[in-house]
Amino acid sequence: MTREHGVDPFDDDAAAPERAARLVRTAAAPEDRITLTDEQEAIASLAPGHNAVLVLGAPGTGRTTVAVEYAARRIEAGLDPESLLLLAPSRDAAARLRDALTRRLAAAGRGTRAVTPVRTWSSYAFDLLRRARVTGPLRHLEVAPRLLTGAEQDTVIAELLEGYAAGLAAAPDWPADVAPAVEARGFRREVRELVDRMSELGLEPGRLQELGTAHGRPEWEAAAVLLQDYRDRIDLGMAEAFDAAGLLSAAVRVLTERHPEDPERDAAAQAFVAAERDRLAVLVVEDLHEATPAVHDLLTVLGRGRDVLLTASPDTTVEGFRGARPDLLARYPGVLDPDPVPGAAPPASPDGRVRVLTRGHRMRAEVQDAYLRVARRVRQRTAGVERTRTETVPADGDGAVRAHVVPTRAHEDQLVLERVLRVHHEDGVPLDRILVVARSGSRVAALARHLEAEGVPVLRDAAGLVLKEEPAVAPLLTLVDAAGALAEDPEARVEDVLDPDEVVGLLTGRYGMASALHVRRLRQDLLAAERGRGGRRTSDALLAAALLDPSLAGPEHERHRALRRVHWMLRDGLEAARAPSASPETVLWALWSASGRAERWRSLALRPAEHANDRRESRRADADLDAVVALFKVAERFVDQFPGASPESFAVYMESQDLPVDTLARRAESGDAVHVRTPAAAAGQEWDTVIVVGLQEGVWPNTRLRGQLLGATDLVDLVTLPADAPWPTDHRTRLREVRQDELRMLAAAVSRARRQVVVTAVRSPDEGPSDFLDLVDPPERLPAEARDAAGVRRLTAVPDPITASALVGRLRRVLEAGDEADAADGATSRAAAAAGLAVLAEDGVTVADPRRWWGLLPLSTEAALVDPEREVVALSPSRVETALRNPLNWVLYHVGANAGGTLAQSVGTLVHSVAEHHPEGVPEDVRAELERRLPELGLPEGWITEIEHDRARGLVDAYIGYWSIARAAGRRPVAQEVRLLADLTWGGTTVRITGVVDRLEADAQGRPFIADLKTGRSAPTGAEMARQPQLAAYQVAVRAGGLEQVRDDPATDPALRAALAGLEHPTTPAGAALVQLGAGTQKTKVQDQPALEDEDTWALEQVFTAARRTTGPRFLALHEAGARRCALPSVCPLCSEGRQVTEWPR
């Protein structure tokens, strides 16, 4: 991996500043010249001196073809490519334009040109600033200009807001309707929106404050303070950095500003501008409808008096949310007319310089009709753009448009999968000619994951991926941080810098590759070796320590491979971090080299994919390599920006990046793969089949007003609209504008298709389709059987998708039909099914291989979870009752196989936490704490939320009431959430009781009393309380010295040690109680258990009986009268839902 300084951050193929020599793409094979229509020919053959010409056309009418042909003919006529500039809105669009021009010139025998005239708008602006630093007015910049990424911008804003909250700087005086939102994560998005719009407009914070005062917008006055601090931070630490929005306005300033205060700089600026104007003779601008006001300003400066060809399709704008203004097309071409020259002829009438393409070459008739139904709803805010919709002639051939409504999101995912596979297998459409479009990046990611899980190769837009979340990147960042911290503090231990979840993540991630079973066995090996040495460290501490010292696990074993892999990485990373020249790059390289993944993943990515598994592994390796390369690019930029920064600071920097990190690192091209994208990412391309997903009310169209909290949209209108134009600040006008943007995105999505469009939505009691669905495929087009009596579209029955797993399922069912099928036909069917499964297994479909079917192989192990004769049996008091009543439930809870947490449990957890922080139960303090933390439940507004909040308040009131009861009984609080640890030995078995006491109190004699807070509604009977297992286990642990052990542990918090030291009889329990906060009674219900006496051996017997039932390898399924429902009924033989893994659900 090499360093490439000075590379344009917007253009993959931009030339380095020297422009001496560079690598260029291999020229595409020459193609036959395209035959142009008469209207295209008239544009492509425009004679020099035509001034500005605007070409309007619907998608697929050949705008790009005309632009490329025009540029090629000007070059063939002798125009120096250096004098030609082609501009496109995005990097992908520029790459496609560049490739098309290269092919066109190659077809004419002119070969590949070393200097490309194609750039994005931002790329040209960046290149202009870079050259202005070398020879122009920006020579005062000490460092070459660079791009400030959106992720970096977000980090700076987050740091400023955190500084205000911590009192490190004077906070802006936000108005009352804005102040509550400042701490919300979405507030940063609003600030970024305002920053971008101000950068585009070239506004300074002082001007924003003036506008806020003049127009009664206090949020602008407050935001001006934040934005000034933002500018100061950028100027102080990153003076050479320009955000993407500000590049364009900065370029305009370079081309227009004078510097009378500095004659030398002014002369350099005038010479630079003159040279640039002399250099550029012809401009070709693609997709002008995606341009922001800043782009229009730049084009006005560059294009006035030049030959300019502009293409646009104002009905398919997809960058409206980034400030695109298709309404500004009304200014063209007149805005580019040269300044009047005395005696010179005026330019041709603008009417003759607006050309319209009316012949479609992409959309078949039915697809075009759907597009037109959407496009006709789009209305330009400013008149003057000629309409062309009704005149476009569709392409030849058949097309199809279908809408489907399904009952759930899961059904929608399956429908997409089924459509993709059916179009591919039955219609013969290659996968890379299929596009799936979703409104949001999160929905794109979910659909891509679903398709990939079913074995369908997917190509996603890399711009939406958050680098730190990539599976190949997250472990590297964790290790960079750990290596840096360990190098900085020689006394630090691995367990001090890595938490248990991070350690397990390293072992089971893309570098360790361990399974959960391997980690469990490794823990057992570590504990056995530790006990053999007489140590008492926990498995979490041992697991972390073993990353630097694998010998802690004892003799090397096959199951230690993951540990050794991560050990080698951390060892080499630590060595690199300790080197005098250490940097994030050197540490990252040491980790990557030690991983040994480079060659392995490379070979997988390039290996011929003969089987389904090979294809999945190849795609995974491809994506991993792409992510790692991108990480190195970011690390390189970080080191350049922050020389001398530590490895930990890079890890913190990456962790703070909540937005996708832009990088020039190339991602591998995928061949036959379905494209899953947002409308913006799909712009400018075409596919045979397009599936538009999620036309839900409130989702598409998403009519949430953007930039309204800080008034970014109002600011743009105030600055850009003519003085006599109305200022559209009312809510209804804004909603109409947003809906227009949503319509344009839908029109763009539909118009990507050549032959077939499928649109989908969910209809359920909670959500329904938007009117966009019927706009694409009106109900009156449906056959009678597809509508109900009211004329409403019926739900689509989703067929089984044509996937390997579904096929295997059907074939296995045939095999298991047995006597249920006709004897002769059944025998034949089973033979065919067996043959089909064999073919699939040979092709690498693992689920078709009987050797992998659950239930047909012998048990993988019959070893017990714990050998009670050799190992300590760990037991939690809270699970003693479960182990006694239903051992199967215990093991399911133990391995995390129970159902997920409920809302009631979340409320209970919150109340426990509130009680922990208020042991004295002072009513005002406890209630205030609860109200402050209720938002942590994350519930939406509504009556259900109010019910849950009221329930939490009732639980807190019961807790307050309990403290009065405890005081009346003569008890005082000692501590909350007290760890308890005690070893008990009986009959050759050692049981370790580990648990946490909700509330520890002391009676008048200094004896410990245990109170366990219960927030549920069920409670044991009075008779059951005498021997209630959980409280009995707590008391047994106390009698065994459990509190003394915690008190004497040096790792125990000093305050807790002092509190426990105040117990006069720490091994003599005063009893225990269940405090039923959720009983719903007027008075807090307290269920006491008497103190254990020496003769109460029943409690000890309970503990050891429960321990024996948890060792395995077999676990009893017991159903007692009144017992709780099973944790996982589907695996319980006593439950009606229970079945063997070899049984199919009927």
Give the CB-side neighbour count of residue 1063, counting CA atoms within 13 A. 29
* Long-range contact set of residues 728-734: C-beta below 8 Å, sequence gap at least 24: 731/705, 734/705, 734/708
Angstrom CA distances, 181 to 166, 177, 189, 887, stand at 16, 8, 11, 49
Contact yes or no for 74/309 (Cβ under 8 A) = no
Tokens (6 digits) for 126: 């960046």
| Distance of alpha carbon 769 from alpha carbon 696, whole angstroms | 4
The DSSP symbol for 458 reads E
Tokens (6 digits) for 1036: 């047994």
Residue 557: count of CB within 10 angstroms of its CB: 12
What are residue 459's DSSP bridge partners?
A: 675
Cβ neighbourhood burial of 202 (10 Å; 0-12, 13-18, 19+): middle
Three-class secondary structure of residue 1099 per DSSP: helix
**Looking at this protein, which amino acid is placed at residue 467?**
L
| Distance of alpha carbon 362 from alpha carbon 599, whole angstroms | 43
What are residue 986's DSSP bridge partners?
A: 989
| Distance of alpha carbon 739 from alpha carbon 340, whole angstroms | 41
| Distance of alpha carbon 184 from alpha carbon 938, whole angstroms | 13
| Distance of alpha carbon 431 from alpha carbon 802, whole angstroms | 14
Contact yes or no for 83/281 (Cβ under 8 A) = yes
| Distance of alpha carbon 1072 from alpha carbon 1030, whole angstroms | 10
- Reference 980, options 876, 1132, 1135, 835; nearest CA is 876
**Residues forming the annotated binding site for ATP?**
57-64
Per-residue b or e along 884-915, where b marks 16 or more CB atoms closer than 10 Å to that residue's CB: bbbbbbbbbbbeeeeeeeeeeebbbebbbebb
| Distance of alpha carbon 1088 from alpha carbon 342, whole angstroms | 104
| Distance of alpha carbon 28 from alpha carbon 26, whole angstroms | 6
| Distance of alpha carbon 709 from alpha carbon 715, whole angstroms | 12
Angstrom CA distances, 644 to 77, 146, 552, 636, stand at 53, 19, 36, 12
What are residue 778's DSSP bridge partners?
A: none
What's CA 58's distance to the chain center, in Å?
34
- Reference 966, options 1026, 926, 930, 1013; nearest CA is 1013
What are residue 541's DSSP bridge partners?
A: none
**Looking at this protein, which amino acid is placed at residue 913?**
S
**Residues forming the annotated binding site?**
57-64
Residues, the chain, total?
A: 1146
Contact yes or no for 333/308 (Cβ under 8 A) = yes
User: In which element (H, E) is residue 817 found?
Assistant: none
The 3-state secondary structure of 257-322 reads CCCCCCHHHHHHHHHHHHHHHHHCCEEEECCHHHCCHHHHHHHHHHHCCCEEEEEECHHHCCCHHH
Per-residue b or e along 711-733, where b marks 16 or more CB atoms closer than 10 Å to that residue's CB: bbbbbbbbbbeeeeeeeeeeeee
